[in-house]
Amino acid sequence: MANPVELIGRQVGRYGVVRHLASGGMAELYIARQESVGGFEKPVVLKILQPRYAQNPRVVSMFLDEARLAAKLNHPAIVHVYDVAEDEGLKYIAMEYIHGETIADIVTRGLGADKYLPLEHAIHIVRQAAAGLAYAHERRDPDGRVTRIVHRDVSPTNILVSYEGQTKIVDFGIARAQDELREEAGILPGKASYMSPEQVRGTGIDHRADIFALGIILYELTLCQRLFRGPAEAVMKRIVNDRIRPPTAIKRDYPPALELIVMRALEKRPQDRYQSADQMRGDLEEFLDDSGLRTGTRRMALYMNDLFAPDAGPDAAPAKPEPDDLDFDRRAPPSMRLEAAAEGRATPPRGVAIRIAPPAGPPRSTRPSGSAAIVTPLTPSTSAKSGTSNQPDATAPSPPVENLLLRRSRGTWYAIAAFIAVGIATMVILTLR
């Protein structure tokens, strides 16, 4: 299988290979067809282990074992694994074929076609992904013990949305095998911009690392702005050391209740985050109910079919993007481990960050009334004349809370004093008359 094209038209186990789909880190992906009697046909995705890894017995064993574990997952928000087998030396996984697009593709298309993902649909995608993660994290074995299956690579390229409006998480069960291979090569597992602080430091991780990654996705989709962008090394340092800027400090009319959910998912310390993905899902659904935003599978399907209709617009990002604007798949650099910053620098006390006042100035532009989409540019756009950004960097340090509160307090007293002075002047004038 030196050339992926060589398998097209061949039979692999019960599946006839139709076309090559993509090349992954350790496997080749193909669209295949399962055929049976009576004209039965079913499209599947075959994930075939690359030859250089297929010769490593430990990797093969891990690849197949993890895939068999994933095959036991049965949830609407997780791509189902049908088969795990070997045929003529080819080790493969047969998975559910999803007619849909990744979150990364949806963002790119939406920006290019000026139909960016509405707020309610962004929350719908994340709440369905949270439901899938909760199911995997809390799944029990036959003896009743929680297995705590951790994805380890939750990112916009590993979450699909079908044209029927259903969110699907892909690559459950093989992330651990990929991690082992990368760590053998001195490379941290996961995508740099969607790693948790504990992943960056190379310490042990659990299901709460998936929650942090999902929090990043929620932050980015609802603000239409990358949270951690730039060179991988710089990104990883910011993940560990920098305070995350609250959404209301970037967009003044961002819903405060939604900000609470985002900031809790993005707590630096795992024990301060949501302790289960189901808690996060429940809060998102409660926010949708309280805010009156209308979404759901049917509405999501209508948006998807409209966005990706043949005449919907260009399939491209906005003009002159920054080099890493849409690089959702940037990998961590080799041989890099980071330690946490000194106590007092890394993370503000819980609850403080969400009280930071937004910067002075007029609100950012939004869509016309009737649409809940937030259309702040995905990345700061640079003025051709001045070279300055027209949008604050999501990772820039925020002003001290005390200074902001002091300025707000002074402003309040000035207003009260002015009001009293006007009242006294009015009374004097009326008395003189």
Which segments in the chain show pLDDT lower than 70? 1-4, 25, 173-190, 312-414, 432-433
> So what's the pLDDT on residue 310?
82
> So what's the pLDDT on residue 226?
92
Distance CA 189, CA 178 (A): 7
- Cα 371–376–382 angle (5° rounding)? 155
Q: Which amino acid is at 85?
A: A
Could you report the per-residue pLDDT of 385-401, keeping only the tens digit for each? 334 333 434 444 444 44
Distance CA 1, CA 23 (A): 12
- The number of helices, as runs of H, and strands, as runs of E, in the chain is 12, 9
Burial environment of residue 341 by CB neighbours within 10 A (0 to 12, 13 to 18, 19 or more): middle
Distance CA 53, CA 91 (A): 10
Distance CA 245, CA 408 (A): 19
> So what's the pLDDT on residue 433?
61
Burial environment of residue 175 by CB neighbours within 10 A (0 to 12, 13 to 18, 19 or more): buried
Give me the helices (H) in 266-315, please: 277-291, 297-307
Could you report the per-residue pLDDT of 269-311, keeping only the tens digit for each? 999 999 999 999 999 999 999 999 999 999 999 999 999 998 7
Closest Cα partner for 306 from 116, 157, 76?
Answer: 116
> So what's the pLDDT on residue 367?
37
Q: Looking at the DSSP assignment, which residues form a beta bridge with residue 16?
A: 11, 33
Give the number of other Cβ atoms within 10 Å of residue 418's Cβ: 10
Closest Cα partner for 210 from 170, 173, 265?
Answer: 265
Q: Which residues are identified as catalytic?
A: 153
Q: Are 248 and 259 in contact (CB under 8 A)?
A: yes
CB-based contacts of 317, cutoff 8 Å, min separation 6: 108, 111, 112, 325, 326, 378
> So what's the pLDDT on residue 39?
73
CA distances from 206 to 59, 197, 226, 238 (A): 22, 12, 24, 21
Predicted TM-score of the model (pTM) = 0.71
Rg over CA atoms, the chain: 25
State both tokens at 239.
Answer: 């993940």
Could you list the beta-strand ranges (E) of 163-223: 167-169
State both tokens at 58.
Answer: 């430990």
> So what's the pLDDT on residue 124?
97
